[in-house]
A and B are shown apart, each in its own frame.
Chain A
Amino acid sequence: MTDNPLMQQRKDKIKKLLLNNAIYIVLLIFLIVIIVIEPRFLSFKNLQFILSQSSTKIIMALGVAGIIVLGGTDLSIGRMIGMSAIVTATLLQSVNATRRIYADMPEIPIIFPILLVMLLCAFFAAIHGFVVFKFKVAPFIASLGIQLAVYGSMSLYFEKANAGSPIGNLSDKFTNFAQGGFQIGSFRLPYIMIYAAICVAVMWVVWNKTRLGRNMFAIGGNQEAATVSGVSILKNAVLVYIIAGLLYGFAGALEGARTGSATNQLGQGYELDAISSCVVGGVSMRGGVGSISGVVIGVLLFQVINYGLIFISVSPYIQYIIKGSIIIVAVAIDTQKYTKKK
C-alpha cells in the first residue's frame, strides 16, 4: 500500500465529510424511499402542513437545545407543555361557553395567561437547573423528578378545575392566535410559523451575540476551564434553564390553542421529539457543541420523516421503532465524531 499522502489526505477528508453528515444522508435516503412509495407526498400542501406542525416543536427544541449544550438533558418538556396548555385553557375559555370553569371571570387579554404559564414553566426549569448545577444531581434523574412533579401539579389542578374532563370552549381570540394566519393569494402563512421564526431569531441572537451564549458554550464545553476563566457556572446555567422554561411555556400555550382543548395527557412524549431533533441537528449530547440552524434543520427533518411515515401509512408501532433507531444512530454518529480513535 503506497498511497501518497495527498491521496490519503483526500480520503480522510471525504471520510470526515461523510461522517459529519451521515445522519442527513440516512434521513435523505428515508425521504427518498417515502417519495418513491408515495410520490404525492411531495406536494405544497404537505410542506405547509409539516412547517406549521413543526412550529411548536421548534420552539420546544430551541429550549432544550440550550440545556443539551450545557451538557444536560430534559425529560420534563412534555409535561411542561401539558401544564402550560391546561392553565392557559382554563383562563381563556370563551365568555359565552355554557360550562366555564371560572364562570365569573371577565375576558382577559390572552397575553396575561401566556406570560403566566411562561413564568410558571421557567420556575420549574429554574429548580431543575439549580438542582443539577448546585447539587450535581444527574440531569437525567433531575429532569425525571421535575417531570413527575409537574405532572402531579397539573393533574391536581386539572382534577380540581374540570373534574378531569378535557378543557374546551376556548375563546376565539385564543384559538385564532395559534390557528390563524395571513392569506396571501392561495398561500396561507400561519401565525404560528411567525412565532417560531421570531423565537428562532431571538435564540440565534442569544446563542451567538450575547455573553450568556458564550458562557453557555464554555460551561458545556469544559466546565472546569470555564470555572478557571471566571465564568459563574450556576448563574449562567440556571439562566439557560429559565429561557428553556419560557420557551416551553409559550409552546405549551400554542399547543393548547392549536388543538382547541387540553387534558393532562397533552404533550406526553414530546421531549423525545425535541431531544432527538436536537441530536439529529448536531447538538452534541456531550455538551458544548450545537447551532440554532442545526436545531431548526433537525426539527424539520424529523417532522418530515414523521409525517412521511404517517403519509405512507406505516403502522404507528413501526414508526416508534424507526424513530427509536434514528435517535440511536444519530447519537452513535455524534459520539463517533468526538471519540478519539486509539
Chain B
Amino acid sequence: MAERNRITASKPRGDCPESGYLLEMLDMNKTFPGVVALKDARLQVRPGTVHALLGENGAGKSTLMKCLFGIYREDSGHILYNGEEVRFNNPRQALDDGISMVHQELNQVLECNVMENIWLGRFPMKGPFLDKKEMYKITERIFSEYKINVDPRQRVDNLSISQRQMVEIAKAVSYDARVIVLDEPTSSLTEQEVEHLFRIIRSLQERACGIIYISHKMEEIFQISDDVTIMRDGAWVHSGPTGELNMDKIISLMVGRDLTQRYPKKLNKPGGEVLMRVNSLTGTYQPSVKDVSFDLRKGEILGVAGLMGSRRTELVETLFGIRKRESGTVEIHGRPVNISHSIDAINNRMALLTEERRKTGIFAALSVRFNAVITHLGAYCNKLGFTNDKKMAEDTQWVIESMNVKTPSQKTLIENLSGGNQQKVILGRWLLNKPEILMLDEPTRGIDVGAKYEIYQLILELAKEGNAVIFISSEMPELLGVSDRIMVMSNGRMAGIVNTADTTQEELLRLSAKYL
C-alpha cells in the first residue's frame, strides 16, 4: 500500500483508473490548534458502489469530507480522483469536477423555487436573459428520471424536508456528479421516503457513481452499502466489504479504544434526595424534546449521551427557560417551579454552560472581568443600581485563581484567551452564583487535554459538595469516566437511563439509535 501507482496522464472522465478506485484519499493528516483531527486517514471508493463511512461523533468523518471539498486544507495527504491527484480549493471546483455533497443541514434558498435552487449560479441563459423554459425542461428531465415527484416551480419553503432532500440529490446529479457524499440523508425521512431514496441511490450506482454514505443507522448500512470504512479518533481503523461484518463488530470497531485516558478519581456520593424532578417535558417549537422525564439527585453527575441532533442541547435550554415549554413539570426540592426565562432559572440556582461558546457564551469584545461577573451583577449593585468595582475585581480574581485561568490581566479581552481559558472564565462566571444545578453542554469541546482534566475535576468537586450536574457530552469515554448515571437521548426523546458502572459504549450507541 505504501507505493501507489499514480497516473498523471489526463484521462477522459468515466474511465476506471487502473487502481480500481474512483476516489482515493490517502494518508490524510489535519491538525487544529490543540487537536489532531485526522491522523493518516484513508478512504477508497470503488465506482458503482455505496461506501459507508462510519465513526462516532468527532471521529473525523466531517473533517475528512471538508478536506475533500477544499473547505479545510489538509496538512498532508493525497486525494486521487479517477487515478489523478487532485486538490480543490472550494466546493465549487469539486462540483465542477463531478464531486458533490448533500449536507445534513440543507443549504437552500428557501424563498426561491426548486429549479432556481438547482441551477443557482449556472442558470441556463438565452442571451442576457434567464431561460426559464429550458430550466424547467432540464429539471423535469432529471426529476422524471429519478422519479422525484416535485414541481420544479414550487417554492422550496413549501416542500417537506424529504422533498427538499430529494431536490438536493437531484442538484448533485445535475452536476453529472460521479462521487456523491450523503451526510445523514435519512435523519428526517420516513420509512417510505427512505425506500425512495434508496431507489435513487441504486440507479446512481448503475451509472457507476460512487456514493459515500455517512450514517449512524446500522440497519441502513447493511441494507444499502457495499463497503465500509470505519474511523476512530481521526484515524483509519478498518475498510472492507459490508458483508464481512456484523453490527456488533462494527460498533466495537467504532468505539474500540481502550480507556487509557485518565479521569480524576470519583469523589462524589450521589445521595438519595431528589434535587430536581422533570416530568414529561415537551418543548413548543421544533426542534424540541418530547416527553422527557428524569430525576436528578443531590451530589449526582448525570451524563447525557446522544447523537448529533438528538436534542440534548434543546433539553437543557428548555429546562433553563430559554426555549418555550409546551407541557410537563419541573420540581426543585419537591416544589413545582415555573421557569419561563433564564432569570427564573438563575433564581432557582441553576446554571447553564452553553455548547457554542462563541455564539452564546462569551462577550468576545469585552474584558475578562466583564465576562466573569455578568451573570452575578445583582451582587455588585446597591439599591440605586450603582456597581461596586472593587467587589467585581475581587470576584474576578477569585475566578481567575480558583479556575486557574491563564490571562495577562482582568482587563484583557476574552477573545484573546485560548478556548480552554475562555471556558474556565464562563464556568467561573456561573460558579460565582453558587448554583445547585449545573448544566454543562459539551463543556470540553475543542479544548486541550489539560484543561479537560481540570474541568472534570471541577465537576466532581461540585458534585461532592452536594450539587447536581447534568453533563452533556458526545465523547462517550468522558461520560463513562465522570458520570454516575447516563441518560441517552434519541431523536428528542429519552431512550433510557443507565448506571454508568453497568453500561458499555455499545449499549449507549444502541440506545442512541432507538428512535431514529
Chain A contact residues, CB within 8 Å of chain B: 205, 209-215, 217-218, 221-222, 224-232, 284, 288-289, 338
B275: min CB distance to chain A, Å: 20
- The interface residues of chain A lying within 8 Å CB-to-CB of B365 are 221, 284, 288-289, 338
**Contacts A215-B377, A218-B363, A338-B365 given; does A230 touch B370 at CB 8 Å:** no
Give the 3 A-B CB pairs with smallest separation, nearest first.
A221-B363, A230-B346, A229-B375
Contact B320 A228 (CB under 8 A): yes
Cβ-neighbour of A209 out of B352, B360, B377, B386 (below 8 A)? B386
Q: Which residue of A lies closest to B388 (CB)?
A: A209
Chain B contact residues, CB within 8 Å of chain A: 320, 322, 341-343, 345-346, 352, 354, 359-366, 370, 373-375, 377-378, 380-381, 385-387, 389, 429
A-B pair count, CB < 8 Å, reads: 77
Bound CA–CA A48/B322 (angstroms): 53
Bound CA–CA A269/B343 (angstroms): 41
27 residue pairs from A and B, CB less than 8 Å apart: A209-B387, A210-B385, A211-B380, A212-B385, A214-B370, A214-B373, A214-B374, A218-B363, A218-B370, A221-B366, A222-B360, A225-B354, A225-B363, A226-B374, A227-B322, A227-B360, A228-B320, A228-B342, A228-B354, A228-B361, A229-B342, A229-B375, A230-B375, A231-B374, A232-B341, A288-B363, A288-B365
- The interface residues of chain B lying within 8 Å CB-to-CB of A228 are 320, 322, 342, 352, 354, 360-361
**Contacts A210-B387, A225-B360 given; does A288 touch B366 at CB 8 Å:** yes
Bound CA–CA A227/B322 (angstroms): 8
Bound CA–CA A215/B374 (angstroms): 8
Contact A211 B375 (CB under 8 A): no
- The interface residues of chain A lying within 8 Å CB-to-CB of B373 are 214
- The interface residues of chain A lying within 8 Å CB-to-CB of B375 are 229-230
- The interface residues of chain B lying within 8 Å CB-to-CB of A210 are 381, 385-387
Bound CA–CA A100/B458 (angstroms): 75
A240: min CB distance to chain B, Å: 13
Most B C-beta atoms less than 10 A away, residue of A209, A217, A230, A232: A230
Given A222-B364, A228-B342, 20 more contacts at CB 8 Å? A209-B386, A209-B387, A209-B389, A210-B385, A211-B381, A211-B385, A211-B387, A212-B385, A213-B387, A214-B377, A215-B377, A217-B366, A221-B363, A221-B366, A222-B359, A225-B354, A226-B374, A228-B354, A228-B361, A230-B346
Bound CA–CA A218/B374 (angstroms): 8
Bound CA–CA A218/B360 (angstroms): 11
**Contacts A210-B387, A217-B366 given; does A224 touch B381 at CB 8 Å:** no
- The interface residues of chain B lying within 8 Å CB-to-CB of A211 are 377-378, 380-381, 385, 387
Bound CA–CA A288/B320 (angstroms): 25
- The interface residues of chain A lying within 8 Å CB-to-CB of B322 are 227-228
Bound CA–CA A291/B414 (angstroms): 18
- The interface residues of chain B lying within 8 Å CB-to-CB of A217 are 363, 366, 370
Bound CA–CA A224/B354 (angstroms): 10
Bound CA–CA A225/B354 (angstroms): 9
- The interface residues of chain A lying within 8 Å CB-to-CB of B374 are 214, 218, 226, 229, 231
Bound CA–CA A209/B360 (angstroms): 25
Bound CA–CA A226/B320 (angstroms): 14
Q: Which residue of A lies closest to B377 (CB)?
A: A211
Bound CA–CA A340/B353 (angstroms): 25
- The interface residues of chain B lying within 8 Å CB-to-CB of A215 are 377
- The interface residues of chain B lying within 8 Å CB-to-CB of A222 are 359-360, 362-364
Bound CA–CA A138/B337 (angstroms): 35
Q: Which residue of B lies closest to A286 (CB)?
A: B365
Bound CA–CA A289/B413 (angstroms): 12
A239: min CB distance to chain B, Å: 10
